[in-house]
Chain A
Amino acid sequence: MKGRYADENLKWIAPLILLVILLPFLLRGATFSYRYYLYVLNIAGIYTILAVGLDVLSGYTGLVSLGHAGFLAIGAYTSAILVDQAGVPFGLSLIITPLITGLFGIVVGFPALRISGMYLGLTTMGFGFIVRRLIIALRTWTEGSAGLEVTKPLLFGFTFNSDWDNYFLVYTFVILVIVSIRRVMKSKVGRALMAIRDSEHAAQAAGVNLTRYKLFAFFLSAVLAGLAGVLFAHTMRFISTDHFDILLSIYFIIMVLVGGVGTVYGAVVGTLFIVLLDFLAIPIFKDWLGSFVAVEVADIQSLIFGLIMFLFIIFQPMGLYGMWLKMRIYWKLFPFNPKKRFT
């Protein structure tokens, strides 16, 4: 009899992990500005953790969130305050902070039991605004809109001093998150969440406890966002409310959509694509366009991201991962493709 995960091809995981470990060494060999690339990759890794969490909520369970930057902010600020002001060790904060953020997720999840669709999007958007405002209001601990400096991560007596060190810290968690979330999504829990997305009535008729699973989806998503927040605060070493505005929440949605909704790998690919585009291609494009008109980076960024999202929604709703699946099927069937299959 086939085991639960037997249909999955796991052979490539080991080489991929090896590649992730070797990548910084390759980069160092290839270019002098490898530190910058590592910094970009760290951000991509942190956002990947969050995007996978958002995918669990919006992609698998079908509950839209337009306020995920709020969870990221809660994670970042909680950890910064715990470690720097309450003296909690970083290792402990890595466990406590995601759980605290998860509790916030459950609180936000309660309205989701009654409302859905666009109303839920508005509620979570409002949650994002409220978190930002509360951070400014609690200036005793957060220093308001001035921003907060955070100490370096210190784990088992080892201080993560540079982007080089942080890379290994961040990507350990990225790999852990990807592998474990894929497992969770293949299990009973994951199938229950997907059943809720496809039809709440049918799911409940089949014995899925809607309250429990919806709250769990919010909890899990917020836990991942909290974990991303901890890593964000301690590797960027400076956080302020400007980091967590509404546009960031929309960019997270773009990452998930571009990658492919409802697939963990899709969220990963989409995040890498968007973050690399943001840091590597947009400055070049800005310089080119800047020779004609006066532009600001933020405008170019939203223009390109908006266009990408728009084109993907219209022409490729399954995202990059869906494109890959289509190509794979196409080549498998190659000379015998049924006509008009992919229109």
Chain B
Amino acid sequence: MTDTLGGLTQEVVSGVALGCIYALIALGFTLIYKATEVVNFAQGELMMVGAYVNFFIVTALLDIPLLNGAMGFLLAFAGAVAFAFLFGTFLDLIINRPLKDEPVFSVIMATISMAIILRAVMALIAGPMTRLPVSPFGSGVVKIGGIVISVHDLFIISSAVALVCGFYFFFNRTKWGIAMKATSEDPMAASLVGIPVKKVYRNVWIFSMVVATVGGVLLAPKTLLDTNIGFLGLKAFPAAVLGGFGSIPGAIVGGVILGVIETVSMGTLSFHFPWVKEINDIIVWIVLIAVLMIRPAGIFGREEIDRV
């Protein structure tokens, strides 16, 4: 019995780490959704691009003697974030600007096409092989009362929490954050009161690309790096819907709950009920459909259904 309980606790802990990855991705499209009401289906691919850029710089720096350790990683991370700034601006320029007045559906389709373009282009550049990025925090583990958690997972959890707190503060307390919220309510009114709507849109895409890069850099050593890690971005959608789409605390709560559900169903549940094994990879989608049937607004969302 204690054995099962210990195993379960261990699963919950790794589930939290996995859920924080979902939360980071979900945070990225929550930002865009909050300001523009566009759902960015390419978020997972943006994360992949960020991870690849970081990896390429790290490998390029390996030959330079002083820069092949933590210093090099920091430099690569700075490079990846700088790239994220440029790429976010570029995405705003090619997706958001031309489709400003189109229905949201067209913009969503544009992000889907951007997702498959990015995956193909990355496959052309990086080749089909799977890369093995090394974790900057080493492979050390921490033991707390019989539960093992890797240092890398601790970093994932803490950076997710930090980013969520940071963005929560940003959206509720700072001038720019409130400007973004106002833009999402009504772009016309926002520009009438002097909010530079175009700049707001650009910053939102940049932020979301930076968040994606952070997520990708943290995720890559955990899952290995190939062009398919973008598919993980799809699993962040159920997380965001569960937490309440467009809610920043919802992103992390939904992500963590979903991560825990997934690891527990893969571990203990599959062990005790063999049929659960069959539905492991779709359990997030079953959760999604259940949430949409019962409470479409999610945990933190506002009830906004216009009944007909």
Q: Which residues from chain A sit less than 8 Å from chain B, CB to CB? A: 64, 111, 114-115, 117-119, 121-123, 125-127, 129-130, 133, 136-137, 200-201, 204, 210, 246-247, 250, 253-254, 257, 293-296, 299-303, 305-307, 309-310, 313-314, 317
Contacts and interface: CB of A to CB of B under 8 A. Distances in A.
Nearest to B103: A317
A111 B291 CA distance: 11
Interface core residue of B119, B234, B285 (most chain A CB under 10 Å):
B285
Contact of B110 (A123, A204, A301, A313): A313
B106 interface: yes
B120 A133 contact: no
Nearest to A253: B109
A275 B119 CA distance: 21
B253 to A, nearest CB: 18
Contacts of B285: 125-127, 129-130
A293 B124 CA distance: 8
Contacts of A210: 308
For the side of the interface on B, what is the size category? 35 or more
B308 A317 contact: no
Interface in B29-51: 39
6 contacts: A111-B292, A114-B293, A119-B292, A122-B238, A126-B282, A130-B286
Nearest to A303: B120
Contacts of A125: 234, 285
A194 to B, nearest CB: 15
Interface in B93-125: 98-99, 102, 104-106, 108-110, 112-117, 119-121, 123-124
A123 B291 CA distance: 10
Interface of B: 39, 98-99, 102, 104-106, 108-110, 112-117, 119-121, 123-124, 127-128, 234, 237-238, 241, 245, 278-279, 281-282, 285-286, 288-289, 292-293, 296, 305, 308
A64 B41 CA distance: 14
A56 B245 CA distance: 28
A192 B285 CA distance: 31
Contacts of B115: 306
Contacts of A250: 112, 116
Contact of A122 (B98, B109, B241, B281): B241
A68 to B, nearest CB: 14
Given A121-B108, A125-B234, A313-B109, A111 B293 contact: yes
A127 to B, nearest CB: 8
Given A114-B305, A200-B308, A310-B110, A295 B124 contact: yes
Nearest to A133: B282
Given A123-B289, A309-B109, A314 B120 contact: no
A172 B280 CA distance: 42
B279 A309 contact: no
Given A296-B123, A303-B120, A310 B281 contact: no
Contacts of A302: 116-117, 119-120
Contacts of A314: 98-99, 110
Nearest to A139: B278
B295 to A, nearest CB: 10
Contacts of B282: 126, 129-130, 133
A-B pairs with the 8 shortest C-beta distances? Answer: A126-B285, A303-B120, A306-B117, A309-B113, A306-B116, A137-B278, A302-B116, A310-B113
Contacts of B119: 299, 302
Contact of B120 (A115, A130, A204, A306): A306
A129 B104 CA distance: 24
A118 B108 contact: yes
Contacts of A127: 285, 289
Contact of A123 (B39, B121, B292, B305): B292
A204 B308 contact: yes
B117 A310 contact: yes
Nearest to B118: A306
Contacts of B110: 309-310, 313-314
A107 to B, nearest CB: 11
A310 B110 CA distance: 6
B238 A126 contact: yes
A266 to B, nearest CB: 15
B272 to A, nearest CB: 18
B102 to A, nearest CB: 7
Given A114-B293, A121-B108, A246-B234, 6 more contacts: A118-B104, A126-B286, A129-B285, A306-B114, A313-B110, A314-B99
Nearest to A315: B98
B281 to A, nearest CB: 6
B105 A117 contact: yes
A300 B120 contact: yes
Contacts of B127: 294
A200 B305 CA distance: 13
A253 B308 CA distance: 27
A304 to B, nearest CB: 8
A294 B123 CA distance: 10
Nearest to A67: B285
